[in-house]
Each structure stands twice: as structure tokens, then as C-alpha cells.
Structure 1
Amino acid sequence: MENQKPGNGVPLSFNKAIDFLGRIPQRLQSYMKTLENSRKGSIIGPISLADKEYASTYDASLTKQIQRWNENPEWVDQLPEIKVSVPKGSLCNLSVMFNVGLPPDAIYNIVINPDNRKVFKNIKGTISRKVLSDDGLRQVVEVEQEAIWKFLWWSGTFSVHVVVDQNRRNHTVNFKHIKSGFMERFEGYWSLQPLFVDKESCFPENPQTLADYEHCTRGKGRVATVVRLEQLVQPSIIPPPPISWYVRGITSKTTELLIQDLLAETAKLRNSINNKQEIAISNNISLDEEESIDLDDDPIYYFDDIKKKWHCRKR
């Protein structure tokens, strides 16, 4: 049977063959990319247009906020109070809420940083880390870390193997223990919400959104962070009292040290930013040149822009 021909007189089967051959490079490239992601153990999902727009704005917003904290670094940290409860069948549930003098994106960058053991001294090291999925603003990561506990004159280490769901859009980090061992259950979350530090200057207005806050402060309002941390801890074997009281004290103290490390790092970051500005002014350095100033202990992970990271690493 003779092949049908379109208006140009070329058989349809021939056109289909040409079209198929033309798609081979594209299909091969797509296959190789999928194979590479599979080999790495990660599943890279499509990034929505809304996520792309958000990603392009949060970096600019963070930069503006860092500049405002640079101009006015006044802030007094207050040690939070840890509330300890004992749900049935578990060792304890720890609940803590406190304010931090930097915007949520800066705190989020510290919490999710793969090398945050430099900040949190109770993390001895990362044994393994694998990205399970990455959809742009949301990442699911499997992490195994070795943690350090301290209580009075005693100390030791234990391994924690968790899956961490990191969502930048709402600034939440959920974690859950996935392998039995020393821990039967270890789960909880970080929640980072904006705090309008200079809200009093808006009186009698009471801004509820960032846009309203920007408007009433004429683009000069600083944003801090309300940090909430929840942790449920349940060892494989729950010891009876009074040993359980002792273990509960270790858990509470470990969380307290973690929070103190975070507050110390944010104070260090504010001082580092302020010191950079003073060095630039005293030496008549332009704003562009200021980016290349490097302090030996300058924390770099709060930068989202690759060029800024590179400038900070340069000596």
C-alpha cells in the first residue's frame, strides 16, 4: 500500500522518521540527566514559576535586611525558657520559642547548612548526607550525624539518622528519625516566623504583612525572627526513675546548648557585618570593594549569591 503524502509530496513515513531522528539528541540528554540524578540518589522535580519568582526576590530582601541590621545592629538576646513535658510512652517533649536578631532567611540558611557543625558544637560530624528530592525551594534530605551530649561532668556521643524536609517558602524544617537504634523516636520541627522589630514607628498603624511594614517604616524597618523548636525524644528503652530524670536533663541541656550556639552565631554575624562597614568607611572603600573584605572567621553561609560567597572566601 502506497504511503500517504502531504502537500509537499514527501511520504508521511519519511517525515516521521526524520522527526524521530531529530528528537534523539534531546531524548538522550534527558535520559543522561535522569540517570545522573538517579546515580546521585536524588530526584530533581520541576521548579514552578511561583518558586522561581520567590527565589529571585528573597535574596534581594535578605540583602536589604542585612543592610538595615548593618545600619542599626542594636539588639539584646534573651535566653529562652525550655518547656519540658512527658507524653505517655516517651522520654520527653521539648518546646522552646525565642527571638533572634536576624531575618528568617538568614536563620534558615544557618539551620539547613550542610556544614552547620561549625555553628552547633553538639554536632561532632556528618556521617552521610543524601538529597532525596529537590524542587527548588523545598528539599528532602537524608542525614546521619554523630551528636555530642554533655551533662555536668559527663559527656558522650550518639548517632542520629533522620529525614529532613526543608521548605524555604514557609521557613520550616521538619525532621524525623528513620532507623532504630539508640533512638526509637526523634522528631520535631523548626519554625521561623518574621518579627517586625521597628513596629512602634508605625503607630497608630499595626502592620500585619511585610508589605504594610515596609510601607509604614518607609523601607527602613528591620525584620527579626521568632524561632520555635519542638522535639520529641524517645529512646529504644525508657529507663525508670531516677535514671529517666537524669537522661531527661541531658536532653534538655543538649537543646539549651544548641540554642545558645545559634544565638552566639547570630550575634557574631551582626558584629561581623558592622565591623566590615567600619573598616570600609575608615579606609574609604567603595561598596563594591567592600564585598571583597574578608575576616578570618566571617560566616559565609548566609549569602545566597555565589559571587558574594566567592568574595568572602577570597584572601
Structure 2
Amino acid sequence: MGIFPGFGAWINLNKQQAPKAESKKSKNVKSKPGSEINTNAESEETKRQLKLWRAEEKKFPWQRDYPPKVKVSKTSIGETHLEMAFSIGLPPETVFDIVTSHDNQTYSYFKQMKRRKILDVKSSKVLRDNGRDEKVVVVKKSAPWKFLWWDGKMPIELIFNENRKDLLTLFRIPREDVMNMERLLGQLQIKPWYIDSDKYCTAREPKSAEEYRKCSGGKGLLGSKLKLDMVYIPMQPLDMPPFSWYIRRVTTKSTKSLMEDLQIRGAVLRSI
């Protein structure tokens, strides 16, 4: 688990412990607008920041989110390693709520993939609920595909470990052969972005949201920097060219579209 050190502990924990709270069956989910994304677990400081963002958005619409920077490479054991880094103009806890709202349809499909949705939501199921700080959820969706004259929908099933305390989401396929993958796992890390630190915090760079609030007098906007890491290897013979080229291209394009969709959801929340 060299790229993702947190995965070993998570997988071992899943093997050793039975779920603390498990739903009896999956629930069919409906799309929610951005205004209904759950923010009940957010701290008072995050709620204050959200008000600050919305007030600022009315005066000067935010245009400083940088698009996902993409890097694709091969690991020493032949896996494809996909990395993406981008920003969202909202506080980290709010962005975490956006990331973990699995029942939301994509906002951006109208401009992506010739009006085909990036993903269709099928169901979600809580496998373990450790309260405010951590949940383990299995999510089922489907993704449209097209290759030469053929097209269809590929079922997607992923297990998510959502850690609010560390603002970290781990994900993996539940077993081999799901989504035609022998192996797929990844993580999405959210870190604070002290946007106005150069303006208000001239003495030193703040190390926490509390330091930032104090040195900016509560005026500084707190944003989010996100880093996605994902490794995967398709099942044979799909791991060989030309199939592997197509899978890499589609996976990269679709994943980038999903990350851009998170930015669009952020814009929706800022404008409410």
C-alpha cells in the first residue's frame, strides 16, 4: 500500500471487526440539489466561513479555482497511477460534505460527454457508522460507455471510508473483477487553503483555521485544496493494448469531469 499508507489499517480493520451499524438493505437514492447537501455536522467556524463566502460571492463572484492538474504514470508493478490536484472556493468541511454526498447526480453532464451523464446513481448503503467522524459506505452507480459501434452502461461499485476528522476519503472496489478491474483503490485528501493570508497574516503563515481566523480578524476566506490519487489495473486481457489505452483515456477523462463537477457544486453552494 505504498502510495496510500492508510489503506492497510482500513482493510485490516474491516477483516477484524464486524460493522457497528449496518442497514438491512440498500436504499434507492434520488438526486439532491446543491442546497440540500448535508452541512449539519459542520463546525460553527465553517458555518461562519460559509456565510462569508456567500456574502463575498454576491459582491465579487469567485473565479480563482484552478482546474484539475492531471498526471498519469505507471507504478513499479504495472498499475496506472492517476493524480489530480485542484481547488474549491469553500471551507474544507463543506467540501467534505460535497464529496461524501453520493446520492447527488452530476451537475456538469450537460456539457460533458455529448450530453450523456457521467454517472447514474443506483444505491448507497452504510456498512459502518462511527458517528460524526467516520463512515464506511458502499455505493453503486453506472457509467455510460462507447467503443467504436458499441455502447452501454458499466456498473460501478465502490466502498468508501469517509474520515471527517482527517478530511480524507479512501475508496476501493469490493473485490476483483468489479468494473473489469483486477485492482482499483484511491484517496481524496482535502487540505485548508488560507486564501487571504498574504493580505492579513503578514507576520507568519497560519498553521490552523483558528490561527487564520485570529490573524485575519475573521475576514479571511478559507478555501480547500484537493489531491486525488488513484491506482488501478484492468483484468486480463483488458490490461493489454489497445484496450488498456482506451481504458486509461476514458478513466482519466471521466475522473477529471467528476472533479470538475465538485467545483461546479461548490459554485452552486456559494451562490445560494
User: Fold-level match, TM-score > 0.5?
Assistant: yes
Within 5 Å, give how 1:289-300 maps onto structure 2.
Answer: none
Distance 2:230 2:141 in 1: 16
- 2:245 corresponds in structure 1 to 245
1:193 to 1:177, Cα distance in 2 relative to 1, 3 A: same
Counterpart contact for 1:197–1:223, Cα < 8 Å:
yes
In structure 2, the CA distance between the partners of 1:153 and 1:83, relative to structure 1 (3 Å rule), is: farther
Q: Provide the rounded CA distance (Å) in 2 between the counterparts of 1:68 and 1:125.
A: 32
1:211–1:150: structure 2 CA closer, same or farther, 3 Å change rule? farther
Give 3-state SS (helix, strand or coil) of 1:117's partner.
coil
Contact 1:161–1:179 (CA under 8 A) maintained in structure 2: no
The reply to whether residue 113 of structure 1 matches residue 101 of structure 2 is yes
| Structure ranking higher on relative contact order (CA contacts 8 Å, 6+ apart) | 2
The separation in 1 between residues aligned to 2:228 and 2:165, in whole angstroms, is: 18
Query: What's 2:169 paired with?
Result: 173
SS at match of 2:53: helix
Q: 3-state DSSP class of the match of 2:46? A: helix
1:107 counterpart letter in structure 2:
V
Range 68-77 or range 172-181, more displaced:
68-77
Where does residue 259 of structure 1 map in the other structure?
Answer: 259
1:255 deviates by 1.0
For residues 70 and 153 of structure 1, what CA distance do their matches in structure 2 show? 47
| Residues 150 and 254, structure 1, Cα contact 8 Å, conserved in 2 | no
Supply the AA of the counterpart residue of 1:129: K
Q: SS of 1:204's equivalent? A: coil
Distance change >3 Å, CA 62–CA 247, structure 1 → 2: same
Deviation per CA, 1:235-268: give whole Å up to 9, x if none: 2123322332222111111111111211122122
1 CA distance for matches of 2:255 and 2:193?
23
Name the residue aligned to 1:98.
86
Which amino acid in 2 is paired with 1:59?
S
Q: Is the 8 A contact 1:149 1:254 kept in 2?
A: no
Quote the residue 2:68 is aligned against.
Answer: 80
Partner of 1:215: 214
d(CA) in 2 for partners of 1:116 and 1:193?
Answer: 23
Letter in 1 for 2:166: N
Say which is worse superposed, 241-250 or 192-201, in terms of deviation. Answer: 241-250
Q: 1:233 to 1:157 in 2, by over 3 A?
A: farther
Of Structure 1 and Structure 2, which has the larger fraction of its residues in helix? 1
Q: Is the counterpart of residue 64 in structure 1 residue 62 in structure 2? A: no
Shift of 1:211: 1.7
Larger Rg: 1
Alignment size in residue pairs: 225
> Contact between 1:127 and 1:146, CA under 8 Å: does it hold in 2?
no
Deviation at 1:220, TM superposition (A): 1.2
1:140 counterpart residue number: 136
**Structure 1 residues 124 and 65: alpha-carbon distance in aligned structure 2, compared to 1, 3 A threshold:** same
Q: What runs of 5+ residues in structure 2 fail to find an aligned partner?
A: 1-19, 27-38, 109-116
Deviates more, 1:170-179 or 1:113-122: 113-122
CA RMSD of aligned residues (A): 2.9
> 1:186 matched to which residue of 2?
184
Identity of aligned residues (%): 30
CA distance in 2: counterparts of 1:38 and 1:243, whole angstroms: 38
Cα contact 1:102–1:223 (8 A) shared by 2: yes
Measure, in 2, the Cα distance between the counterparts of 1:194 and 1:156. 39
TM-score of the superposed pair, with normalisation by structure 1 = 0.64
What is the rounded CA distance, in whole Å, between the counterparts of 2:264 and 2:133 in structure 1? 27
Q: Is the 8 A contact 2:22 2:126 kept in 1?
A: no
CA displacement, residues 16-37 of structure 1 (integer Å, 9 cap, x when unaligned): xxxxxxxxxxxxxxxxxxxx95
Partner of 1:287: none
SS at match of 1:85: strand
8 Å contact kept, 1:145–1:161 = yes
Answer yes or no: is the 8 Å Cα contact 1:132–1:142 preserved in 2: no
Higher share of residues assigned strand? 2
One-letter identity of the residue aligned with 1:136: R
- Give CA deviations for 1:161-215 in whole Å, capped at 9, x if unaligned: 2221111111111011112321221110110111001111211332222221111
Cα 1:117/1:67, change in 2 over 3 Å: same
| TM-score with structure 2 setting the length | 0.73
Partner of 1:130: 126
1 CA distance for matches of 2:104 and 2:134?
Answer: 18
